[in-house]
A and B are shown apart, each in its own frame.
Chain A
Amino acid sequence: QVQLQESGPGLVKPSGTLSLTCAVSGGSISSSSWWSWFRQPPGKGLEWLGEINHSGSTNYNPSLRGRVTISVDNSQSQISLKLSSVTAADTAVYYCAREDILPTGGTSAFDVWGQGTMVTVSS
């Protein structure tokens, strides 16, 4: 079954760029799925950051004002997240997740999640 594993630096300096990778195993990244990034600040709720499919089509949360970029590397079965101009407000646990497409149309929401990786923005 599909498994996801996030990785990347746990500490990023203010005004820098946060870069994370999500490794997909146990299944094809090129299947009819969308792959999303989420985050959750300590003690707070969940926020969707954006999504990508295997062909590179993307959609982003407008509230991030163009700071977020998501890319896919099909050969490495990886999804990447870049978030620029970070501040302390970007400190959070970051998750990647799969949104599977239903054969009847629509999706089955986010059925597979990584375990999450904590990123702290601090000098």
Chain B
Amino acid sequence: DIQMTQSPSTLSASVGDTVTITCRASQSISRWLAWYQQKPGKAPKLLIYKASSLESGVPSRFSGSGSGTEFTLTISGLQPDDFATYYCQQYNGHSKTFGQGTKVEIK
């Protein structure tokens, strides 16, 4: 089973800041990595797939990078709507696992 380690678990930031979340896989997953945003009481929303492809309709301030075992999600110019929990997910083959999540809080 592929384990996903996400850091930090909590991040305090201000509107306008650039923030970076890291996700590490326990073995290579090529570029089969997605990032989701989740708000309380809502389903996850896909932001990035295949490590760096921006989902349609997602603002360009969200970007993803990485391959193999190391990946990052960057939010450039944090907006009030961006305060939420973010999850990485590997989908390499017929098994999917998530990171434990990063809560982005208002500083």
Contact = CB atoms under 8 A, between A and B. Distances in A.
Name the residue in A45, A48, A59, A116 with the highest tally of chain B Cβ atoms < 10 Å from its Cβ. Answer: A45
A46 interface: yes
A99 B94 contact: no
A46 B43 CA distance: 10
Interface of A: 36, 45-48, 51, 59, 61-63, 95, 97, 99, 102, 106-111, 113-116
Contacts of B100: 45
Nearest to A104: B50
Interface residues of B, number: 25
B87 A46 contact: yes
A59 B46 contact: no
Contacts, number: 61
Q: Is the interface of A mostly helix, strand, loop or mixed?
A: strand
B43 A51 contact: no
A2 B49 CA distance: 18
Contacts of A107: 49, 91
